[in-house]
Structure 1
Amino acid sequence: MKIYKYEVIVITENINHDNTFNNIYIRLIGTGGQIDTHSSLRNNKEWAPFNKKNKKTGSKVSICSVTSSTSLGKLLMIELHKQHDPSLSEDSWFLARVQVNSPEGDTYNFPVYHWIDDRKVYLREATALKDSDDTHHLSRKSREKELNQRKEHYRWDVYLEGIPHCVKAHSPLCLPSEVRFSFTTIQMGFTGATGITWLKLEGLSDRKDNWTSMNYIYQVYRSRRTDISDRVQQLWRNDAFFGYQFLNGVNPMMIQRCTVLPENFPVTDDMVFPTGRWTLEDEMQKGNIFLCDYKLLDGVKTNIIHDKKQYLAAPLVLLHRTSDDELMPIAIQLKQKPAEDNPIFLPTDSEYDWLTAKIFVRSADFNMHQLNFHLLRTHLLAEVFAVSLLRNVPKVHPLYKLLIPHTRYTLQINSLARQLLISHDGVFTKFAASGGEGMITILRRAQSSLTYSSLCIPDDIAERGLHSAPNFYYRDDGLRLWDIIHRFVQELLQHYYKNDAEVQEDSELQSWIVHIFEHGFLLQDSTGIPNSFCTVAELVKFVTMVIFTCSGQHSVVSSGQYDYGGWMPNTPISLQRPPPTKKGTTSEATMLQTFPDISTTVHGMSTMWLLSRHSTDFVPLGHYPEDHFTEEVPRKRIHAFQEDLKHLNKDIKARNKRLDIPYTYLDPAVVENSVAL
């Protein structure tokens, strides 16, 4: 009688707590039948021990031969059962992948890359298959069962009415283990608890008094600096640097070309061009006038911090491109409605009148940036993309394999944010001017202003009229990165979708976008978000946007938070005095009284420092340590993608050597694959 011998190789990654002392059983399932390993991997003498390491990768492997009297045919899946041994403590097990070498000489890979709890899991063979390609009855049954289970594990929830929905989880520990951090929650808690200690700000977190001098602020700040934050500290009063930050600071999303002055911003030529050298009309026609309008903040109810009412302006800022390509602020109005008690501040005003106006703009920018462009447009949307993927697209689907690396840790970091940052007693709620009721108002208004085109950088740059804005590195690097991602996505998806009809007929793909439209964009057609895909081109553009949002765009609005906010006077998270109602009433003393108090400053610095860090196991954009794709064509596309990213990295580094302040936030080497922190 012929004996068929299958070699089963179980591989775990070299990370903390990746091993298990529980019993592990494996069943091989193929088109011709199935076979069990019969005894546990842990106590079967035929298995090589888990401490056998791959010298190159550090991963641990366990190998066993399983025999059968009949051929299993083409392997379809593995049933893996982790069974708790009552004599041992419960544990989770991080399994990387399983490889099976068949007697016919074929190699089958079964990617996992997540924690395994005490339950049966079914692992599909790695070849990417759309629903229409997955024809075997066992495969189809497994596909259906997987999605039904995932819809139980990943349920939608409403954190706040009027903003994108989120995953249902009372705490990060309630999330399925497969989407949790690969490091322990104890480590994450320790990191959060030591932010103030790391910055050497102990003893200041409870100080409710005001700053008494600029030197005192500097003494506190200098204990933890970055190269860029040092330049910010030196340049924060400078008009050219103030304008520069609208292009290349942590929030390059507010500025737009101004072709017509808003009716509520009655700036005249005499105000801004007193020498008569230019006129606003001519400069607008030439594309030299730019506007930042914070109208979304108008009338927002502000916070009360340490029993003191806080203040938040809703300014309008006019900027002028000079002959030497600097972007200079030329007028600031701090409230939306023009009035006698709402003067238009000008560079020709007194030093502290003009500086105070700029401080109110920077504080408004912080609140707009954190809630609209950071929280809503990266974190919350990334969560919608991830939950919809997990609920509607099985692991064997090419879209899942493409996008799952770009969802890594997103559900857990967002769950932590809802618990520690924006909850009733969260840091943002307690210490930002817009914390509490104001935060809810801003998020809902921001949601109403959300459009598909504003999430696609080529469309967004065009709509804001910024193709000719000078020294705009966010635009330059972002457009190149978008093109690189788009080319990668296009070449990969066209391998699986040969024509538009295949896109239209893919029910799992269509369910994914339907749920995004419903739960992320709240069924609003005005957003321009599609609620179905009709063509391959539509699919490619949308997936490009998803990857860009979860990687490059998040890096833009997150990585530089401490660089530009570590020096508090440049980015006050709250202000204690109202905007001045007439000129000539400001001084250094009133400025110090306006700044947030010491405790608020310290908590803001600590939070921005924590949120600017990379995760402890950072994965750069385009690096895929988890082998979800095993076929030759997608692996070649991934390699080409990585080479394109290397070229962009090289060009950005060369450019940055010439800059006084380097722009690094879209350098692929420092862009994380996902919203992971």
Structure 2
Amino acid sequence: MPSYTVTVSTGSQWFAGTDDYIYITLVGSEGCSERTLLDKALYDDFERGAVDSYDVRVGENLGEILLVKIEKKKYWMQDDWYCSYITVKTPSGDYLEFPCFRWLVDDKEVVLRDGRAHLPQDDKTSLVKQHRQKELDSRRKTYRWKEWQPGFPMSIDADRHKDLPRDVQFDSEKGVDFVLNYSKAIENLFVNQFMHMFQSSWSDFGDFEKIFVRIKNTISEYVMQHWKEDFMFGYQFLNGCNPVVIEKCLKLPDKFPVTHEMVSVSLERELTLEQEIEAGNIYIVDYEVLDGIRSNCTDPCTLQYLAPTICLLYKNTQNKILPIAIQLGQTPGKDQPIFLPTDDKYDWLLAKIWVRSSDFQYHQTITHLLRTHLISEVFGVAMYRQLPAVHPVYKLLIPHVRFTMAINTKAREQLICECGIFDKANATGGGGHVQMIQKAMKSLTFRSLCFPDMIKARGVDNKEELPTYFYRDDGYRVWEATKSFVSDVVHIYYTSDETVQEDGEIQAFIKDVCSFGMQDFDHCEFPKFLKSREKLIEYLTVIVFTASAQHAAVNFGQLYLGMYPDEHFIEKPVKAAMETFRKQLAEISSSIKKRNNGKKLPYYNMSPDQIPNSVAV
């Protein structure tokens, strides 16, 4: 009697094991096995991190194993189980891999294809076609679109984290990790002693310094020592947490009437302001999006303030970026003076603080929340709705949407919701942050998510003009490495442009992102159909880069880019492409480390060993 050896791997995360009954059915081209209980009798099966093997006996050879069906039935109480993968050794000695990497909850079943990726047009038998369609039908019922606020990108239909599908919820370790990291941060900052300071006004700069009394980070210490200086203020626009707003100034806007006489003392090349602009030495940051945004009022007696500032910056002969003029509003006039470095030092410092306040609001709400978190969620929801697990693009993208729906749902539940943390502590709370995103959506285009296009559009692509713009330089290298890896994967499965056009699932994914995720806004210019491998490569590179490198640049690192612990791909060419990708990233990390040696302000935010795979925090 033929016998198949089935090996089952249980996940290593907390509570991955189960005491429930697990059944398996092998579905082959020539027949099916009987529904078989996997039970080693004298041993505990399916313990956390365990790899268990079983014999499944059949009356006759089943032919090519096409599907593996797993069923979980309650033993004495409902006990979720995380299955990592299943392997099947056939009577002829062949090994087949069936990646799972999902939770089985309640009395549910999961039907797995083998680990080889297939485009929809590659499937020939009705059995696998039906399985593919059934999986997508189920997913579309589970992963539904919802508009959280008018004018926002669409999100997953879940009001609370616990309402999410189990496969996209945080693992238990992740939840504990949040608590531990928060506690560690509180301890490091020693803020318990000074918590009252966050609830009231500060009397002087010394109050601010007390908060960081226990910080031992050399970069933070250096910033604390020099934050009042103009060079540090300008440097942060290049390599701080919001390095995406600085633009080359091609012409002074009428709303910002800076004259040569105002700034001549700050210019070092014996050129007029107009000549400095023509030479490419003048830059500008403009927080116009804050104009008209209502500021928060945490209680009847505490009104907060916002300023839609404009700041002119100058590249001096030492290639430092220095502020030379600041206006706190968008409408010039007597009540909107232009502040200059020649003003009283505290007037000038206060003007810079207002700009930094504007930058904080822009960074938190637009750069970070909208353009990494919410956009990555759009791609993630559309992926689950339109791409089955056997699709190569699903396998490519799944590490890069991990936990994104979970963290965003937590944010909508606790952070940006009414009476959430934003409302309690942020000047754009109380609805201002919602207004900002609604306004910012009107300038969010697909091309603005393409890193090279975004850099070029702001006129900051010339390395000779801005030699210390490390965000740009490192970003280019990571973008190209990512694009090269994506290109390798795409060319393995798509043999021509026609193959892309004929892939109904990938086209449905692209359309779902635009027509539903981005609500078909005319201004967003997201594609609805891709006609070539080149366009598909660029599109997928945007997704991976946004979720990993771009988010890291405006946040911080977790799992490092290029490391894929869940092996959804099994093909050797893809694994070789992954290895090449990892080597390229390691080389970039090494060169960044060398460049940073000896620098008082090293820049690591775009170093691949600091880049997370996904938006997960």
| Structure-1 residue corresponding to 2:228 | 237
Structure 2: unaligned runs, 5 residues or longer: none
Trace 1:552-631 onto structure 2 (pairs within 5 A).
552-559=549-556, 618-631=558-571
**Which of the residues 449, 473, 494 maps onto 2:443?**
449
| Structure-2 residue corresponding to 1:409 | 403
Measure, in 1, the Cα distance between the counterparts of 2:171 and 2:346: 50
Q: Is 2:91 aligned against 1:107?
A: no
**Which of the residues 537, 543, 547 maps onto 1:540?**
537
Q: Is 2:73 aligned against 1:83?
A: yes
Q: Is 2:592 aligned against 1:652?
A: yes
RMSD of the alignment, in Å?
A: 1.8
| Structure-2 residue corresponding to 1:268 | 259
Contact 1:326 1:470 in 2 (8 A): no
Measure, in 2, the Cα distance between the counterparts of 1:429 and 1:325: 40
| Structure-2 residue corresponding to 1:303 | 296
Contact 2:68 2:112 in 1 (8 A): yes
The change in CA–CA distance for 1:668 and 1:342 in structure 2 (over 3 A counts) is same
SS at match of 1:223: coil
The change in CA–CA distance for 1:435 and 1:117 in structure 2 (over 3 A counts) is same
Q: How far apart are residue 123 of structure 1 and its match?
A: 1.2
Contact 2:87 2:96 in 1 (8 A): yes
Contact 2:258 2:325 in 1 (8 A): yes
Contact 1:424 1:436 in 2 (8 A): yes
**Which of the residues 444, 450, 473 maps onto 2:470?**
473
Trace 1:384-533 onto structure 2 (pairs within 5 A).
384-468=378-462, 469-533=466-530
Contact 2:219 2:600 in 1 (8 A): no
| Structure-2 residue corresponding to 1:327 | 321
Q: How far apart are residue 136 of structure 1 and its match?
A: 1.4
Q: Is 2:29 aligned against 1:31?
A: yes
Q: Is 2:20 aligned against 1:19?
A: no
The change in CA–CA distance for 1:275 and 1:668 in structure 2 (over 3 A counts) is closer
Deviations 1:102-156 (A, max 9, x none): 1122211111112221211111111100000011111111101100110111001
SS at match of 1:417: helix
Q: How far apart are residue 196 of structure 1 and its match?
A: 7.1
TM-score by length of 1: 0.87
Measure, in 1, the Cα distance between the counterparts of 2:513 and 2:377: 10
Deviations 1:220-239 (A, max 9, x none): 22134533222221111010
Q: How far apart are residue 388 of structure 1 and its match?
A: 0.1
Q: Is 2:82 aligned against 1:94?
A: yes
Q: How far apart are residue 161 of structure 1 and its match?
A: 0.6
**Which of the residues 334, 350, 368 maps onto 2:362?**
368
Q: How far apart are residue 200 of structure 1 and its match?
A: 2.8
Measure, in 2, the Cα distance between the counterparts of 1:632 and 1:496: 13
Deviations 1:199-235 (A, max 9, x none): 3322544554322232232122213453322222111
Q: Is 2:51 aligned against 1:61?
A: yes
Q: Which amino acid aligns with 1:128?
A: A
The change in CA–CA distance for 1:28 and 1:193 in structure 2 (over 3 A counts) is same
**Which has the higher relative contact order, 1 or 2, with Cα contacts under 8 A spaced 6 or more apart?**
1
Q: Which amino acid aligns with 1:17?
A: F
Q: Which amino acid aligns with 2:296?
A: N
Q: Which amino acid aligns with 1:123?
A: L
Contact 2:297 2:430 in 1 (8 A): no
Measure, in 1, the Cα distance between the counterparts of 2:193 and 2:516: 44
Q: Which moved more, 1:175-184 or 1:361-370?
A: 175-184
Q: Which amino acid aligns with 1:451?
A: T
Measure, in 1, the Cα distance between the counterparts of 2:517 and 2:332: 36
Measure, in 2, the Cα distance between the counterparts of 1:169 and 1:275: 54
Deviations 1:278-308 (A, max 9, x none): 2111111111110101101012100012431
Q: Which amino acid aligns with 1:202?
A: N
Contact 1:77 1:123 in 2 (8 A): yes
TM-score by length of 2: 0.95
Q: How far apart are residue 191 of structure 1 and its match?
A: 4.4
Contact 1:95 1:116 in 2 (8 A): yes
Measure, in 1, the Cα distance between the counterparts of 2:535 and 2:306: 40
Q: Is 2:10 aligned against 1:70?
A: no
Measure, in 2, the Cα distance between the counterparts of 1:242 and 1:215: 19
Q: Which moved more, 1:628-637 or 1:388-397?
A: 628-637
Q: Which amino acid aligns with 2:382?
A: S
SS at match of 1:99: strand
Deviations 1:363-395 (A, max 9, x none): 000001111110000000000000000000000
SS at match of 1:558: coil
SS at match of 1:160: coil
| Structure-2 residue corresponding to 1:164 | 153
Q: Which amino acid aligns with 2:513?
A: I
Contact 1:47 1:64 in 2 (8 A): no
Q: How far apart are residue 470 of structure 1 and its match?
A: 2.8
SS at match of 1:97: strand
| Structure-2 residue corresponding to 1:605 | none
SS at match of 1:669: helix
Contact 2:312 2:326 in 1 (8 A): yes
Paired-residue identity, %: 38
| Structure-2 residue corresponding to 1:573 | none
SS at match of 1:501: helix
Contact 1:256 1:464 in 2 (8 A): yes
Q: How far apart are residue 184 of structure 1 and its match?
A: 5.0
Q: How far apart are residue 453 of structure 1 and its match?
A: 1.9
Q: Which amino acid aligns with 2:610?
A: V
Measure, in 1, the Cα distance between the counterparts of 2:483 and 2:200: 52
Q: Is 2:176 aligned against 1:182?
A: no
| Structure-2 residue corresponding to 1:633 | 573
Contact 1:46 1:64 in 2 (8 A): no
Structure 1: unaligned runs, 5 residues or longer: 54-58, 560-613
Q: Which moved more, 1:64-73 or 1:325-334?
A: 64-73
Q: How far apart are residue 50 of structure 1 and its match?
A: 4.2
Aligned pair count? 608
Contact 1:252 1:474 in 2 (8 A): yes
Q: How far apart are residue 33 of structure 1 and its match?
A: 1.1
Deviations 1:51-71 (A, max 9, x none): 5x9xxxxx4210011121211
Measure, in 2, the Cα distance between the counterparts of 1:519 and 1:251: 29
